[in-house]
Amino acid sequence: MKSTRFVGLGIALGTAIGTATDNVAVGVALGIVFSTVISAAKSKRNVSPQNSNQDTIECPID
């Protein structure tokens, strides 16, 4: 699964932040959040132009 590709990077970053702030548990949780956000942002970029119009909402008021 490609979404798990950034988990190691996120946990490493979160552990570093947690160690710097003397709260490793919160740092690991933040690392998991970071990895989720990065993988979601990367997967949004891989949407083909044909399917990108399905997510748009037209504004009825112009």
pTM over 0.95: no
Give tens-digit pLDDT for 17-43. Answer: 999 999 999 999 988 888 888 888 877
pLDDT of res. 45: 66
Q: Which helix (H) or strand (E) holds 39?
A: helix 24-45
Indicate the angle between helix axes 24-45 and 7-20, nearest 10 degrees. 150
pLDDT of res. 52: 52
Contact 35, 11 (CB under 8 A): yes
Return d(Cα 1, Cα 35) in angstroms, integer.
14
Return d(Cα 54, Cα 40) in angstroms, integer.
18
